Structures are given as structure tokens and as C-alpha cells.
Amino acid sequence: MGPSANTAICPENMKVGKFLNNHAHSCGRYGLRIFHNMIPRKFPCKPVWKDWSEEKKDDPYWKNPAITATFEGLVSWKNNRNGAIAKRVGDVRFVNFKVADNVLAGIEFAETAWYGDDTTQINGALIIGKTSNTEAKLDKGSPRGIITPRSEGFLV
């Protein structure tokens, strides 16, 4: 929309740059929020073609394959909802996250867009619901470690 609109740019499906060793604490709601969609593809503005032929049965999305988006080394604590949250994602990986003392959960994924076995993942995380350095709002919130998505294709 607007004078700088360009239909050749599709941010939801673009390759992600580098996200490495960030810190977030005491944020209003989220330490890291991926909202609404992040489904990186080789050709961001083209649709996902499903080819169920015998020749391509190992990768039915070969015409527009997924690209891995890696978020690495986030340290996120004492946020008023989540240390990290993702609404709807494709091949997104949270690697070596450390989250603690977040009011609702350390990490939450709402939905995954499944495109094969190596999809949405949490790898090497340290997730602590509540430490002894607590606050009244954490006691009320009853923090969880991970809230998992309501879809397939998610690995921890």
C-alpha cells in the first residue's frame, strides 16, 4: 500500500538476515515477537507448488523450497508475557535460547506451516519458568516453559 508499494517484495516469505546473541528483559509483552507470518521461501513472491509425483515424493515443495531462518543466542527474561513468541512460521529455528521468569511462557509457537521433516524447531534451549528471583506477577501468572503450536511439524 502507498507510494512505495512493490509487489516484487514479499516480506513474510523473505530470507532472514542474522539474528545472533540479543538480549531482552522487562519488555512490555515479548522479548522477541514474530508476528504474523514468517515462512521464508526460495522465491518469496511465488506460491508454494505441491508436486506429489513419484519422482518428487521426498520433497513435494521442490519448486519453491523452504529457507531456514535461524534465531540464535537470545537471552530473554522478566517480560510481561513471553521470552519469545512466533505466530505462524515455516522453517524457523530458535537455537541456544535462554529464557526465564517470563509471566506466561519462555517460548510460545502458535502455528507452524509444515513443509517437510526439518521444520520449526527449538534446539539447545535453557528454559526456566520461575527462579527464586521472582515477583508477585510471576506467582499469579504460573509461568510455563514452552507453549507448543496447534499444528504439525514442530521439534524440540
Of 56-60, 132-136, 145-149, highest mean pLDDT: 145-149
**3-59 pLDDT, tens digit each:** 888 888 888 899 999 999 999 999 999 999 998 899 999 999 998 877 877 777 777
Domain residue ranges in the chain: 37-155
What are the DSSP calls for the chain, one per residue? --TT--TT--GGGSPP--EES-EEES-SSEEEEEEEEE--BSSTTSPPP---SGGGTT-TTTTS-B--EEEE--EEES-SSEEEEEEEESSEEEES-EEE--SSEEEEEEEE---SSS-EEEES-EEES--SS--HHHHHH--EEEE--SSS-EE-
